Amino acid sequence: MSIMNLKGKVASYLQRLIDEGSPIHFSLIDPDKVTDLEILQNVATKLYRSGSSAFLVGGTLGVSKERLDGILEILNDYPIPKIIFPSNVNLISEKADAILFMSLLNSDDLYYVIGAQVAASFIVKSMKLEPIPTGYLIVGHGGTAAHIGRARVIPYDNAELASAYALAAEFMGMDYLYLEAGSGAPETVRPEMIRTISRVSRINLIVGGGIRSPERAVEIVRAGAKAIVTGNVIENDTERALKIIEAIQNLRVGY
Ligand SMILES: CC(C)=CCC/C(C)=C/CC/C(C)=C/CC/C(C)=C/COP(=O)(O)OP(=O)(O)O
Ligand SMILES: O=P(O)(O)OC[C@@H](O)CO
Ligand SMILES: [Mg+2]
């Protein structure tokens, strides 16, 4: 059996995109920000048609399991994965395909490093949700996630420190490292940090927080990110989000 087959369906799909040289785009849907399910359907259709690779569903504040389930039901109409982006153990649903099984590597609180994961493990298994082993590293602005997660944020310009975390995550067997500047961050993770990490570690980088222009998204992918996440820009200006998706697709190797 090949290594590919040992991975779950969603991990294999993401790995295939990476192997093809196709930049991954995650559309982050925050259940607390969805006011109207019809609007969500409209937006999700546009995101899917533009080539977004998967839906990430999660939020830090004001998210309930009921809301999460309602959103996942709507997203079930689209043939791309629905992946939970959990802020805590209450946001786990059998209606999703997979969960970013994250450890907040730079938290001072053991709960976010290993406690929540222990509390969640049997739930994830019984729901047959596919766990995607992911390190979560909060950088710079950090936003609400840094505050709630008690992160000792990595300064935007300390690429060496971020690289040490990336290598540690790789050595611990994590497939992905999510570099998070925080929802709505005024500045994204810097391309220089992404470039430095990519030189040091083979871990797949997911980059999110404050990405709101196609130009910045392109710089982030060119620097070595395998995936980008956009949340606020979808909520605030969907057409701009579609331009971001289009711009990174044009970077596809051999395109
Ligand atoms: C593995 C399981 C079940 C849980 C892990 C829980 C961990 C490690 C959480 C890390 C800390 C944390 C608070 C992460 C937030 C992740 C997230 C959903 C961010 C997106 O939310 P925002 O967009 O910032 O939310 P708001 O818009 O509500 O501020
Ligand atoms: O909402 P934005 O700023 O796009 O950030 C996305 C995500 O990284 C937040 O957790
Ligand atoms: Mg948000």
List pLDDT tens digits, range 105-160. Answer: 999 999 999 999 999 999 999 999 999 999 999 999 999 999 999 999 999 999 99
Residues of the chain falling short of pLDDT 70: 1-6, 254-255
Q: What is the predicted pLDDT for the residue at 131?
A: 98
Atom from ligand 2 closest to the CA of residue 235: 1
Measured in Å, residue 229 CA sits from the centre of ligand 2 at 6
Q: What is the predicted pLDDT for the residue at 253?
A: 76
* Nearest in space to 180 (alpha carbons), one of 162, 195, 167, 196: 162
Q: What is the predicted pLDDT for the residue at 6?
A: 59
Q: What is the predicted pLDDT for the residue at 169?
A: 98
Q: Was 210 annotated as part of a binding site?
A: yes
Q: What is the predicted pLDDT for the residue at 105?
A: 99
Measured in Å, residue 84 CA sits from the centre of ligand 1 at 10
Q: Was 217 annotated as part of a binding site?
A: no
Can you list the domains of the chain with their CATH numbers? 24-248 (3.20.20.390)
Q: What is the predicted pLDDT for the residue at 2?
A: 47
Q: Was 180 annotated as part of a binding site?
A: yes
Atom from ligand 2 closest to the CA of residue 234: 4
